[in-house]
Structure 1
Amino acid sequence: MTDKPIRIGFIGLNPDIQWAAKAHIPALKSLPDEFVVVGVANTSLASAKKAAEAFGLPHAFENAQALVNSPEIDLVVVTVKVPHHRELVTAALNAGKHVYCEWPLGNGLAEARELADLAETKGVVAAVGTQMRVAPEVEHLRQLIADGYVGEVLSTTLVGSGGSWGGETDAAHAYLYDKSNGATLLSIPLGHMLAGMREVLGGFNHLSARMINRRNTVYVTDTEQTIPSTSHDQILVHGALESGATFSIHYRGGMSRGTNLLWEINGTEGDIQVTGASGHGQMVQLVIRGANGDTSELAPLTPPASAYSGWPDNSVVRNVARVYALIAQDIRSDTRSAPSFSDAVALHETIDAIEHSAAGKESK
């Protein structure tokens, strides 16, 4: 491929809906030599035209199939709800396009495996948005562990709040409370954190899980309706990593007045704490503190300034931009450095194991 900017087409870009506009567009603006957004397809042509006008894009496509078939598009970015990922990613891959799909890759493990197999067959760059893996803080943390800061890792503990999956929501996010949609407390905030944990500490081995639904209904504030909630709002997992270290996890819906993200890593020579404003480790600014040897009190373990140099200040935008930078490298050099569909399958397998472990236990 030439050094010209990689041409992006978005499926699911709307100025009135936050994620793509809040994260992807500013991330891409920070990489102007690598990418240019040229088109959009939404649920209707009118919606696509509205988005194209809002973001100054030359092409508003009639539908997703027209976008993926267009010779003007090199990379298709899928930022729609999880139930539509399989259909849209399949269409893009069959058109021979590179793909960046938001996490979760599929609505369950079977869909993720299907998409990963298709991507492998097509030989294109197929990346998934598990952006916590490339956060500067996670890369720094991984190096600290590799360098032996805590010695041998003995255990790790994670507590987090999902923000959503509490007692109230709005109509735009009500679909999160129907577990059949695949966008759950387990798959989204905890799924992203599991990706970060794997990056730092390696894979999961044996686990036991329990998922409980303490809130059977949720109040939709802008419609003033109360609707059923089938998505679990309490998730407990414990077991052992492949290294032999033990792990314990508790994720809960809503937000706490106390701790909303605390990840501890305890070893033979030291301890590390990672904290953040919510359990969405892929989005929040992570703070690392630690102590080892004869030191008794935790102190900041901030990544070097060079880790942030040239990247956006906002952690949401920065982490997404770092994924895009790897995608550009992969497309231009035929490498596979960005979080891939095969990586997504491994993460889906862990989530599937949690679901299967919890399936035979009381869930309500």
Structure 2
Amino acid sequence: MPDKPIRVGFIGLNPGIHWAATAHIPAIKALTADFHVVGVANTSLASARNAADAFGLPHAFEDAQALVASPEVDLVVVTVKVPHRHALVAAALETGKHVYCEWPLGNGLAEAQELADLAEAKGVVAVAGTQMRAAPEVEYLRQLIADGYVGEVLSTTLIGSGGQWGAETDAAHGYLYDRNNGATLLSIPLGHTLAGLQEVLGGFGAISARLINRRETVHVTDTGQTIPVTTPDQVLVQGALQSGAAISIHYRGGMSRGTNLLWEINGTQGDIQVTGASGHGQIVQLSIRGGNGDASGLTPLVPPASAYEGWPDNSTVRNVARLYARIAEDIRKGTRTAPSFRDAVALHEVIDRIEQAAAREPQ
């Protein structure tokens, strides 16, 4: 007899252009044998009912506590803003529920460590949404490097644009410009992309960094307000990976008329170049080119067709769906193939190291 679908409850699901609606819901629809969304809890019962009606869900919970306590829910998915995640994830873990929380896991390293400790104490599947690690292109890149396509990796360079953290925003995203909210250029687009980079090339060794705030204010287009900016819009990191390979990173706020994602890997026998439409490596379609041996230039390197068969065409939805597929396997088989809360702590540690390194630099 086949396994029953895993019953999913969302904390933070709204119709429209919101992340859970545009990424999570279509990803789950691609995995109907594995998951069934049964309910939602939002900031009010009215909002939950609106979402339940929009998505055809049987349950609109009065609040988050009612959702996490419900016997109708197996997996709690937390997609609210960063400052609210710690309390909601902790509540879900305390009831013994499996949890999928968006990245960043917490507002800083300490919150992430607390949640990872609690998840391990409860023995549940607890996954952080660093879905770039599950992208077929990243899996392909990891294999290329492992197979020696570039030989020994000598250096890697990463340049990206964050989209937000530029000259304009809307009211819904205004919280991104306050560093106290933990949703920064460093923690979100660069953090997500670093998860993929480390999946391919391994962890960081010694680094230095600068966090520069070039924009002191941002214009809020739908309210006409101008609000202060306290989070850096330029992130620079250099140093070495644990392998000894040199690394250089520059992430900048807003979008460029030129390069918005460029990741190069240079080795003793070859070179690889990865590009995309923005610095959010977790959602964009990644294109790979490479050359090695006697080749004088770069040519397209494409993952095998089998890597895409049965998955959504949209890269954003596909990467999230591939992460959900790992979650289903982990829940049913007791494995730990999806990025865990402990993995999220390790990534938070990298972010923390970058912040500490920047704090040591003269301003």
TM-score, normalising length from structure 1? 0.99
Match of 1:180 in 2: 180
Cross-structure match for 1:110:
110
Kindly indicate whether the alpha-carbon contact (under 8 Å) linking 1:2 and 1:332 is maintained by their aligned counterparts in 2: no
Once the 2 structures are TM-superposed, how far is the Cα of residue 102 of structure 1 from its aligned partner?
Answer: 0.1
Give the secondary structure class of the aligned counterpart of 1:254: coil
User: 2:323 maps to which residue?
Assistant: 323
Q: Which residue of 1 aligns with 2:28?
A: 28
Query: Which consecutive segments of 4 or more residues in structure 1 shift more than 4 A?
Result: none
In the TM superposition, residue 281 of structure 1 has moved relative to its aligned partner by: 0.3
Q: Which residue number corresponds to residue 335 of structure 2?
A: 335
Question: Are 2:65 and 1:38 equivalent residues in the alignment?
Answer: no
Partner of 1:83 in structure 2? 83
Task: Name the CA distance, whole Å, in 2 between partners of 1:118 and 1:135.
Answer: 28
Matched residue type, 2:214: R
Partner of 2:139: 139
The answer to whether 1:220 aligns with 2:193 is no
Aligned to 1:193: 193
Distance 1:289 1:104 in 2: 30
- Find the residue that maps to 1:112 and give its secondary structure: helix
The equivalent residue for 1:234 is: 234
Distance 2:18 2:99 in 1: 21
For residues 200-222 of structure 1, the C-alpha deviation after alignment (integer angstroms, 9 at most, x for no partner) is 00000101000000000000000
**1:16 Cα offset (Å):** 3.3
In structure 1, what is the equivalent of residue 278 of structure 2?
278
Cα RMSD, aligned residues only: 0.9
Tell me, what secondary structure is at the counterpart of 1:4?
A: coil
- 1:177-198 per-residue CA deviation (whole Å, 9 max, x = no partner) reads 0010000000000001110011
SS of 1:230's equivalent in the other structure is coil
Deviations 1:73-113 (A, max 9, x none): 00000000000110000000001000000000000000000
Q: Deviations over 1:284-334 (max 9, x none)?
A: 000000000000110000001000000000000000000000000000001
SS where residue 127 of structure 1 aligns?
strand
Does 2:226 align with 1:246?
A: no
Residues 212 and 362, structure 1, Cα contact 8 Å, conserved in 2: no
Deviation of 1:18 (Å): 1.6
The Cα offsets for residues 131-190 of structure 1, whole Å up to 9 and x where unpaired, read as 000100000000000000000000000000000000000000000000100000000000
The one-letter amino acid of 1:117's match is D
The one-letter code of the counterpart of 1:120 is E
Contact 1:98–1:124 (CA under 8 A) maintained in structure 2: yes
Q: Which ranges of structure 2 fall in alignment gaps of 5 or more residues? A: none
Q: Secondary structure of 1:256's partner? A: coil
Q: Aligned with 2:342: secondary structure?
A: helix
Question: How many Å apart are 1:362 and its aligned residue?
Answer: 4.7
- What SS does structure 1 have at the residue aligned with 2:256? coil
8 Å CA contact 1:38–1:73 kept in 2: the answer is yes
Written as runs of structure 1 = structure 2, the 5 A alignment for 1:32-71 is: 32-71=32-71
Asked if residue 304 in structure 1 is aligned to residue 304 in structure 2, the reply is yes
Residue 335 of structure 1 aligns with an amino acid whose one-letter code is T
Q: Which residue of 2 aligns with 1:268?
A: 268
2:8 is paired with a residue of what secondary structure?
strand
Partner AA of 2:252 in structure 1: R
Indicate the residue corresponding to 1:162 in structure 2: 162
Instruction: Return the alpha-carbon distance in structure 2 between the equivalents of residues 86 and 260 of structure 1.
Output: 32
SS at match of 1:148: coil
Alignment-mate amino acid for residue 8 of structure 2: I
Q: Deviation at 1:61?
A: 0.2
| Deviation for aligned residue 1:361 | 2.9
**Equivalent residue for 1:14?**
14
SS, match of residue 281 in structure 2: coil
How far is 1:254 from its partner? Answer: 0.1
- One-letter code of the match for 1:37? V
